[in-house]
Structure 1
């Protein structure tokens, strides 16, 4: 995988060749809608203005119109456009005053005659294939909302940097930050349905718009193009270069998010996150449901005691029971400990599994003794750090669309052991952000933000009881490995989402260097479980993780590094495609 310092060169290598761009110009689409690009100009630097307009004129798809509403304090923009461009597709309207960002954008919207509207900032640039790639997607008439990846352009030196490779639609992530941003193309009918930009959210008017769109759109109506189609210009006054230049925008974003949650009748509090532009959403618990914590254990009494005591002593959420599943301990003191802990805490119960070790069967057995509407599968070598962990996980788990929630797990040296699971990373699946320091947010602060993920580890996983039963519990054919990933796949197949919750924080004392498969029998069993998983979930492994952009490398350890060009070509060869 490549580092982001190599991105400029990477982008130029991966960008479509002049031959490809020429063939796009000649391509005939069956459905060739007019795309109206709306731009609000305000005292725009003429060199930026020229670059912006030229990037539209140079599109390989030609059925567009550029609708510019100008709220400038002088005639400079108008004079420049009138004297330099003679293209009927450029529409211009001079406003009597500056109406603010939302007002100016709405004025540009009034000029539109296209079936689709594209949002474009006055000093940014489109890649030449931006509209072509969107129209390719719009051949599917169900799609109403298309977004793509973007990067930043350092004005002075013309270097591309900071690529924002986004996941497919991720509502939970959207409720922590406006990751959609640019380049966004929506159907005009969607705007008619939800309304245009609102001045009360100026600075975050696009975030408010996207949140309102998310309230009415079905998943099949939203499409993500995993390609860089937009360059966000960085210069002294831009938010791209200096987020503090528009602090009011982040306050407006917080209000937009609060209002979105209120419209959906979701009781939650929103607070500013660890860096500008990210938000923490804390959902209020409905009622006082019982959480059943299932902890398998064999010997290792010190570990188990630490796990139990950390929750009993620290947890701010108090309605829980603990079911310890004893699994063939050989140390006699373990059985004395069980009696002690049951006497000490009325909400602790020890049950006895007599059969061979089978992680899935052991947890399913413990489940039979549980009474809670929510189950927390927990390893005995964990320790709760954040007192609100159960509360936070439960807040997410209570949402109708959510099936399971995973916590952020740290090694004892305060580096990340688990922050969600990426399918296909280093084989079947692996944890994101492994070994990253806990104070590091990782790629676009993903380690700090709640988001939908394909899977989470059962070392600490909360799941609705009803969902656990609906999917047939843990598959006992996965005795040791992949049982939790398989469970998550089954949950997602039933259209529930899996959430990574960074506000639920535990230590996981699993050794960083532990040798997993160190005997011929273990290796044989492990390979058998790999084979079984690959057979059962071949489509998911083939199609890739929807929450992990295909421009990222699958080489492990790692995650969120650039996929090198040779990795792209190797993947294409495997799939029988050409370069």
Structure 2
């Protein structure tokens, strides 16, 4: 099916559902807003509305850093031969903040030919007494940042580059976020925001980086946090500030060390920082600073050492991405559960790929026979057991198809430390697929569940993780994208934290399966994997996805059966509502690993056409361990 046509049909389906749930008037108003935002609302689209900024200024009118009620944030910025227009724009963005809770600490390592840098700063110091300045010898970005930190008196620190721009509400929003965390009894030691890229003016941003809430596996693959990060000055001093030996990836290294102390991080999903794109900037491309990779791998390796975990840090699939080859603890056995009803051609392709390609040798395969009607199927089982050593076939005793019941039955025959749910219409592509899934789970601090990269036969993506709330319920990350791309912010090319992964290929610790009671058999066909993963996540475990375990999924792109069959459509609708009833609609629509400013209408991580909450400045801080 044509991709645009498919997306149009999905959007139309969403409109129909919205009409049913909230009425025609709501749907028409939402549609009119969609058109307005889509075609007429691009200017300053990530900035709060003028009335919001003005309300902040009115609230803070006449107040000072000392009595404004917000924690003081000292912004650390090393200067080096900064072009005058860039410097003035940056200084203006600090001076024009809506709240007075900021202190700017500038360490100037410019050479003698750029004395104008210091002159401009002194000009601004006459306007704002909370701009500190020191001329220093250039010893590299980390040492220069530490020199700026020596000027700081704030309870919190933030990092900003000399050629970028702070959003006008950056310090107000971060100050409020810290107070909100305190009110919730959550750690307030490390907070980060979203950011945007721009060329000339923040009124015309190029694109935003809408980030997930704290995602530890993702952070080991790239520094997705970047700007704006705010953290306690006492923690910065406790960890020794930035390390010169990690110059080029000094912020990534610092964030890892700070988060080790805090035990997690808080995310404020507002665009508080504008990153200028120009030659020589890291925002302009990874080739600008080729020494970054070496520094990043050191930062990551040191992090593993400090946290007592064992793995080898290697380059990732794209520049500025990395991969941890975790050391698998012991020799865990994997029980591969494959439900099957007839379709022996599919099953043979699946089994042959497992036995011919899988490098991890401690596994068993259990085919769960489910009401096959073709006598040739049973003859195939007998023949397959002769060719595939150790193959087990167990017969599900109930009638009808119930994915959850079938796998729960298969679990009874499994003896592995891990269970692998696997569809019969998948084919293994790489020999270390099972090893890679185990790498993400079978080590201290590993995930409880890991999913794989699944491709359609036409080399488009079928599954790169599950995002709850897409289409109102759940959808597959980057579905239909061409294979080989990096995805949004490398999210189709790095090990990721997700709320769920598909049951078409899902590895889970057997003990965790048993702890949460396996699959819910009232989800007979749809959402059983989503529900299971959410229950595991809510029990305090992590769900991971890896692009390094690759399989082809021969599922049709356009089955369409459930919509055309009234009984199947009713069952699907019932399972949709059950997902809401168990987990809550708002929780389903608010996936912590998917930003609220990204669309729920498509699976491509495109920007939402509804950024009203950004304009209102109403998105609030979210803490995760």
Whole-Å separation in 2 of the counterparts to 1:46 and 1:30: 31
Conservation of the 8 A alpha-carbon contact between 2:519 and 2:529: yes
Match of residue 204 from structure 1: 249
Match of residue 25 from structure 1: 57
Conservation of the 8 A alpha-carbon contact between 1:552 and 1:559: no
Shift of 1:162: 2.7
User: Equivalences for 1:446-485 in 2 at 5 Å?
Assistant: 446-485=491-530
Unpaired stretches in structure 1, ≥5 consecutive residues: 574-579
1:462-514 superposed Cα distances (whole Å, 9 cap, x missing partner): 00001000001001111111111110011011010110111010000000011
1:345-374 superposed Cα distances (whole Å, 9 cap, x missing partner): 232100011312211111011000000000
Change (3 A) 1:347 1:8: farther
Shift of 1:69: 0.6
TM-score by length of 1: 0.94
Does residue 1:369 correspond to 2:413, yes or no?
Answer: yes
Match of residue 53 from structure 1: 91
User: Equivalences for 1:170-569 in 2 at 5 Å?
Assistant: 170-219=215-264, 222-356=265-399, 357-399=401-443, 400-517=445-562, 518-538=564-584, 541=587, 544-556=590-602, 558-565=603-610
Count the aligned residue pairs: 568
Match of residue 577 from structure 1: none
SS class of match (1:336): helix
Whole-Å separation in 2 of the counterparts to 1:465 and 1:560: 32
Shift of 1:17: 2.5
Q: Larger deviation: 362-371 or 242-251?
A: 242-251
Conservation of the 8 A alpha-carbon contact between 1:151 and 1:162: yes
Whole-Å separation in 1 of the counterparts to 2:223 and 2:167: 21
Match of residue 16 from structure 1: 48
Change (3 A) 1:204 1:375: same
CA-based RMSD: 2.4
Does residue 1:89 correspond to 2:130, yes or no?
Answer: yes
Conservation of the 8 A alpha-carbon contact between 1:226 and 1:549: yes
Conservation of the 8 A alpha-carbon contact between 2:440 and 2:446: no
Whole-Å separation in 2 of the counterparts to 1:567 and 1:423: 21
Whole-Å separation in 1 of the counterparts to 2:446 and 2:460: 31
Unpaired stretches in structure 2, ≥5 consecutive residues: 1-10, 12-33, 61-66, 619-625
Whole-Å separation in 1 of the counterparts to 2:520 and 2:561: 21
Whole-Å separation in 2 of the counterparts to 1:331 and 1:572: 61
Change (3 A) 1:529 1:572: farther
SS class of match (1:240): helix
Match of residue 24 from structure 2: none
From 114, 124, 144, the equivalent of 2:154 is 114
SS class of match (1:169): coil
SS class of match (1:462): strand
Conservation of the 8 A alpha-carbon contact between 1:7 and 1:160: no
Conservation of the 8 A alpha-carbon contact between 1:67 and 1:92: yes
Shift of 1:515: 1.9
Q: Larger deviation: 161-170 or 516-525?
A: 516-525
SS class of match (1:179): coil
1:402-434 superposed Cα distances (whole Å, 9 cap, x missing partner): 110000100000100000011110021011111
Whole-Å separation in 1 of the counterparts to 2:508 and 2:189: 33
Shift of 1:568: 6.3
Whole-Å separation in 2 of the counterparts to 1:145 and 1:18: 29
